Amino acid sequence: MSDTDETPRAGQALTGIRVLDLSRVLAGPWATQVLGDLGAEVIKIERPGAGDDTRGWGPPWLKDGEGRETGESAYFLAANRNKRSVSVDMAHPDGQALIRRLAQASDVVIENFKVGGLARYGLDHESLAALNPRLVYCSITGFGQDGPEAGRAGYDFMIQGMSGLMSVTGSPDAEPQKIGVALVDVLTGLNAAIAILAALQQRHGTGHGQRIDVALFDVAMASLANQALNYLVGGTSPRRLGNAHPNIVPYQAFETADGHLILAVGNDAQFARFCRLADFGDLAADPRFLTNAGRVAHRAELLPAVGAALKRQTTAEWLAMLDAAGIPAGPINTIAQAFAEPQALARGLALELPHVLGGIAPGVRSPLRLSDSPPGAPLAPPTLGQHTDEVLARILGVPQAERDRLRREGII
């Protein structure tokens, strides 16, 4: 969106909702990107001259139309499409006043400062709710607003370790591993977006907003899913199984004649069909392996036979046979190969967004497909302060002379 584009997008699910984004790095920006994809007007507040920390988290850097590096990091681009960037010095009283006025004109505020960090600026929930009782105020922290760890900073990597997620990730013979993406941050952003939508729906009936408390630690624990219940029901902490599944067999990566594939046998009928493909003979009728419970109990006896069978043919040959037999299986792609998959091409998952600095900003299409109010044509992530003048003039009516003063004094 250019500085002259003053009309928020229409016809989308969240058209008319304004989000004031005081967050940075990944979890908060991911939440507001989801809301922006759905049509909300997202105003991202950034520090003058510096901006979101992730703007400097490169290389790689976006290139302009001449092939020159712009200084816009790929990391920042990943979480900040469909937003307006407004540079405001939150530490200055005049900057705080501008943000309070924007909060009065907004439906949602999202922030990820330490507990109590915004109170000294008068930008905490109590201060802003007094000005705008309809405001939905979402706080994202490492450990939540209460409890003995509430004051601690929390980062995705350390939360993966503390939550137990790393204890079930990686080979049983190697050190615990983090996931290759900051997935706790991403999941926290998604949970925050869900909670915000629920609070907006609640507001329809009550007329009042509310406080939302989302913690990375809580999200990571909740996202352990079956592994959490394996412990709570079974009483024993799950262990690392590499690519194997704790509750389903065979459900893991296997070596083929020329590489690897993932075999994901989800039920007994699929296993019977696999036995026919693998020419297992008497093994197919072995009572130890007729049910999934039996296969889990006797995985050590079964898996060598499965592995030996898969090594007899290439990955492509096996994938063709397994697909024809209705047995879930797939390749282990690089990210480049994933974007080249026919399905990824057909669904248009790779985006090319015209950027204000020239050239094209790549992106990944939102996975949200709504039949009646789909996400519109996405907007490239903004440059730092790209929309400061437009937003302050359109929403707050700040005159040009006042904006010039604020700029001279480094407040915007």
Per-residue model confidence as pLDDT tens digits over 5-36 = 444 456 799 999 999 999 999 999 999 999 99
Is the separation of the CB atoms in 281 and 294 below 8 Å? no
Q: Is 89 among the residues known to form the active site?
A: no
Q: Residue 237, exposed/middle/buried by CB under 10 A (0-12, 13-18, 19+)?
A: exposed
> Dihedral sign, CA of 156, 162, 164, 166?
positive
Please compute the mean of the pLDDT values over residues 269-284 and round it to a whole number: 91
For residue 362, the surrounding DSSP H or E stretch is strand 360-364
Angle at 103 between CA 97 and CA 107, to 5 degrees: 175
pLDDT > 70: what percent of the chain?
Answer: 98
Give the largest CA-CA distance in the chain: 87
How high is the pLDDT of residue 7?
A: 47
pLDDT of 132 above 80: yes
Tens-place pLDDT, residues 390-405: 999 999 999 999 999 9
Kindly list the distances between the CA atom of residue 242 and the CA atoms of 164, 309, 392, in Å, as whole numbers in the listed order: 15, 20, 53
Please compute the mean of the pLDDT values over residues 129-140 and round it to a whole number: 98
| DSSP string of 222-251, one letter each residue | HTTTHHHHHHHHHSS-----TT--SS-SSE
How high is the pLDDT of residue 11?
A: 78
Please compute the mean of the pLDDT values over residues 284-301 and round it to a whole number: 94
The single residue listed with the structure tokens 């510096």 is 50
Tens-place pLDDT, residues 208-223: 999 999 999 999 999 9
Q: Which pair of tokens denotes residue 11? A: 């016809």
Please compute the mean of the pLDDT values over residues 155-177 and round it to a whole number: 95
Tens-place pLDDT, residues 221-276: 999 999 999 999 999 999 999 999 999 999 999 999 999 999 999 999 999 999 99
pTM above 0.75, yes or no: yes
Helices (H) and strands (E) in the chain, counts: 16, 13
Is the separation of the CB atoms in 359 and 63 below 8 Å? yes
Q: Which among 50, 40, 41 is positioned nearest to 14, based on CA atoms? A: 40
Is the separation of the CB atoms in 77 and 67 below 8 Å? no
How high is the pLDDT of residue 376?
A: 83
Q: Any long-range contacts for 245-253 (C-beta under 8 Å, 24+ apart)?
A: 246/168, 247/296, 248/292, 248/296, 249/292, 249/295, 249/296, 249/299, 249/302, 249/303, 250/274, 250/295, 250/299, 250/302, 250/303, 250/306, 253/332
Q: Is the peptide bond before 48 cis (omega within 30 degrees of 0)?
A: no
How high is the pLDDT of residue 282?
A: 81
Kindly list the distances between the CA atom of residue 255 and the CA atoms of 121, 143, 331, in Å, as whole numbers in the listed order: 58, 41, 11
Alpha-carbon distance 9 to 370, whole Å? 16
How high is the pLDDT of residue 1?
A: 32
How high is the pLDDT of residue 281?
A: 82
The single residue listed with the structure tokens 């219940």 is 229
Looking at 34-38, 124-128, 282-286, 336-340, which range is the least confident one? 282-286
Alpha carbons within 13 A on the beta-carbon side of 279: 5
pLDDT of 4 above 80: no
How high is the pLDDT of residue 327?
A: 97
pLDDT > 90: what percent of the chain?
Answer: 95
pLDDT of 337 above 80: yes
Alpha-carbon distance 333 to 33, whole Å? 27
CB count in 10 Å sphere of residue 353: 17
- List CB contacts of 342: < 8 A, sequence separation 6 or more: none
pLDDT of 2 above 50: no
Q: Is the peptide bond before 60 cis (omega within 30 degrees of 0)?
A: yes
Please compute the mean of the pLDDT values over residues 347-370 and round it to a whole number: 95
Average pLDDT, the chain: 95
pLDDT of 3 above 90: no
| DSSP string of 185-225, one letter each residue | HHHHHHHHHHHHHHHHHHHHHHS---EEEEEHHHHHHHTTT
Residue from 21, 37, 107, 185 carrying the catalytic annotation: 185
Tens-place pLDDT, residues 309-327: 999 999 999 999 999 999 9
The single residue listed with the structure tokens 């991403």 is 186
pLDDT of 100 above 60: yes
pLDDT of 283 above 90: no
